[in-house]
């Protein structure tokens, strides 16, 4: 019976994550039953290319049919170099002045937050401005008949056909240094990341995120954390960009994405971290509970997650104990890395967590892995001070001035001198003089081996 399955997929390696497309009740004791939407991990191939040995989220192992599951695919971001962000009508006309017919750019709509404007040079050397509506996770030119999943798809369509515009889009006006991106909702479906809302049971709230509330939940009998998007018309793209980055990140010290729910409500579902964030964990337990072994474990776990991001050329930008979560088994995992940016990233007009941010990032608005290293030094200080707020007794407005004049925090009580030396190394004013995360990780591994 097993030979009836047709082989139509690549060979999957150990550790490959697959998602069930259909329910499989199993036909023998050696089979691993699963429901549609279950996430399974390949253990090894078998002599029959249509069957694999796999395990489920509970660790149970068994045989699964390849044609009942699909490999999860990374969801890629697509660049939009013609997007100019906050540009006024007058500025857009000035930028496009003298350019050929069909030249265009896309910008934020200054009167309708969440919408966009397509500014286009039409015959007569006139710039026409078309409002682009964003509703129900779709975009469309105001007055047009067609809807698109993303701005990129809208632009690509009108590059082929004017279709109601005064002229076809022919020459994008690129913004220098633009790293604005978009993500296609359908890519989550094609990649096997969409969760059926029927299998998701949302329970009590456990916190607040950048886009909305965070809830404890249950998905296929597994505890999960559920982030809900409040205003999907304005923030859906940003919310799903976080999810798209998470689809490519697989590391035991990064909080893992389980899937997304797309529909009237949009939810981002991640693994549940039962002991909450690290800073509250440190403060609530204190010296009477948290051991030197716990501290070096938290430091090493966090550094391992950051070394992985560093190897991927990704910058976290907001590394702090509040953004590290603690699993029930005591493992620390970096969270909120989904909005990490590729090296190097400039945060236009952004607000910084001053006490954790490297001086050059504050002054120049440029974030790199070396600015993350500075933040990791502050996080180490948090761990070894049991969650104290950095730079105690120094007013927030004075922190940057003190740091630039050479001030560095003193070693926390009881902190091993080797750990404090790492902190001081991460706080070098010259970014290139700071160590790599991988170098710090090697040092922490050595220290952990001798910590009891």
Feature table: binding site for ATP? 227
Instruction: Round to whole Å and give the CA distance between 105 and 87.
Output: 10
Q: Both tokens of residue 55?
A: 């395990």
Q: Are strands 213-219 and 222-228 parallel, antiparallel or unpaired?
A: antiparallel
Specify binding-site residues. Answer: 227
Task: Find out whether 272 and 224 touch, Cβ atoms under 8 Å.
Answer: yes
Contact residues for 448 (Cβ-Cβ < 8 A; gap 6+): 296, 297, 300
* Active-site residue, selected from the candidate residues 115, 294, 301, 318: 318
CA distance 212 to 257: 17
Token match 């980055």: residue?
245
- Greatest alpha-carbon pair distance for the chain in Å reads 78
Q: Is 145 a catalytic residue?
A: no
What is the distance, to the nearest Å, from the Cα of residue 201 to the centroid of all Cα atoms in its chain? 23
Catalytic residue positions, numbered: 318
């Amino acid at each position: 019976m097993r030979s009836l399955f047709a082989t139509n997929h690549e060979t999957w390696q150990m550790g490959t994550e697959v998602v069930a497309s259909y329910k499989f009740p199993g036909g023998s004791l050696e089979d691993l039953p699963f429901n549609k939407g279950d996430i399974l991990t390949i253990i090894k191939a078998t002599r029959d290319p249509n069957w694999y040995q796999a395990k489920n989220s509970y660790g149970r192992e068994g045989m699964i049919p390849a044609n009942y599951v699909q490999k999860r695919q990374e969801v890629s971001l697509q660049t939009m170099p013609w997007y100019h962000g906050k540009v006024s009508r007058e500025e857009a006309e000035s930028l496009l002045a003298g350019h050929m017919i069909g030249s265009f750019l896309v910008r934020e709509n200054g009167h309708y937050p969440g919408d966009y404007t397509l500014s286009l040079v039409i015959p007569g050397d006139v710039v026409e401005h078309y409002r682009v509506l964003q509703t129900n996770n779709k975009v469309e030119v105001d007055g047009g008949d067609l809807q698109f999943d993303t701005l990129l798809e809208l632009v690509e369509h009108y590059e082929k056909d004017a279709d109601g515009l005064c002229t076809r889009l022919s020459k994008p006006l690129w913004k220098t240094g633009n790293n604005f991106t978009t993500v296609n909702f359908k890519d989550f479906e094609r990649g096997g990341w969409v969760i059926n809302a029927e299998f998701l049971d949302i329970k009590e709230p456990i916190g607040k995120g950048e886009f909305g509330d965070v809830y404890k939940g249950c998905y296929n009998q597994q505890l999960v954390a559920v982030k809900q998007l409040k205003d999907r018309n304005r923030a859906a793209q940003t919310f799903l960009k976080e999810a798209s980055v998470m689809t490519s990140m697989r590391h035991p010290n990064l909080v893992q994405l389980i899937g997304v729910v797309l529909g009237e409500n949009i939810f981002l579902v991640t693994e549940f971290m039962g002991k909450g964030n690290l800073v509250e964990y440190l403060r609530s337990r204190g010296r009477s509970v948290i051991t030197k072994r716990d501290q070096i474990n938290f430091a090493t776990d966090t550094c391992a997650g950051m070394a992985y991001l560093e190897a991927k050329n990704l910058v976290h930008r907001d590394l702090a104990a509040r953004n590290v979560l603690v699993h029930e088994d005591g493992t620390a995992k970096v969270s909120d890395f989904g909005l990490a940016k590729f090296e190097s990233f400039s945060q236009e007009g952004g607000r910084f967590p001053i006490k954790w941010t490297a001086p050059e990032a504050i002054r120049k608005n440029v974030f790199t892995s070396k600015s993350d290293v500075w933040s990791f030094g502050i996080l180490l200080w948090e761990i070894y001070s049991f969650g104290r707020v950095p730079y105690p007794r120094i007013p927030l407005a004075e922190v940057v001035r003190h740091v630039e004049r050479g001030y560095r925090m003193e070693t926390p009580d009881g902190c091993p001198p080797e750990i404090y030396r790492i902190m001081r190394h991460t706080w070098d004013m010259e970014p290139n003089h700071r160590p790599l995360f991988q170098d710090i990780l090697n040092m922490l591994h050595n220290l952990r081996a001798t910590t009891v």
